[in-house]
Amino acid sequence: MRCEGPDNPPCSRCKLAGTECVFEKVIKTEADTPTSVELVLSFSPYVYGLQLAQVAFETSRTKSSP
Ligand SMILES: [Zn+2]
């Protein structure tokens, strides 16, 4: 029995089957929560430095242009 939508449990299928959307709900929560590794990668100083350099470059180019 597949769940229709874990966003609004219990879905009609689970309600008809008399079961709860607990299993689907747990999977969705884990998928939506970024892991610590993903957080470190997205906020790594290297990427942050690159973004700062790009912003500085765009700013200086805008200022120099008439
Ligand atoms: Zn369900």
Q: Where are the domains of the chain?
A: 1-33, 34-66
- pLDDT tens across the length of the chain (66 residues): 567 665 677 788 878 888 777 655 455 555 566 677 776 667 677 766 777 888 888 888 877 666
The residues whose Cβ lies within 5 A of ligand 1, an ion, are 3, 11, 14, 21
- The three-point CA angle 13-19-23 to 5° equals 95
Residue 38 Cα to ligand 1 midpoint, Å, equals 28
The model's pTM is 0.28
Reported as type and span, the H/E element at residue 59 is helix 45-64
Q: From residue 31, how far is each of 25, 26, 40 by CA, in Å?
A: 10, 9, 17
Per-residue DSSP letters for 6-22?
TTSSSPHHHHHHT--SH
What is d(CA 27, CA 19) in angstroms, rounded to the nearest whole number? 16
Residue 33 Cα to ligand 1 midpoint, Å, equals 20
Residue 25 Cα to ligand 1 midpoint, Å, equals 8
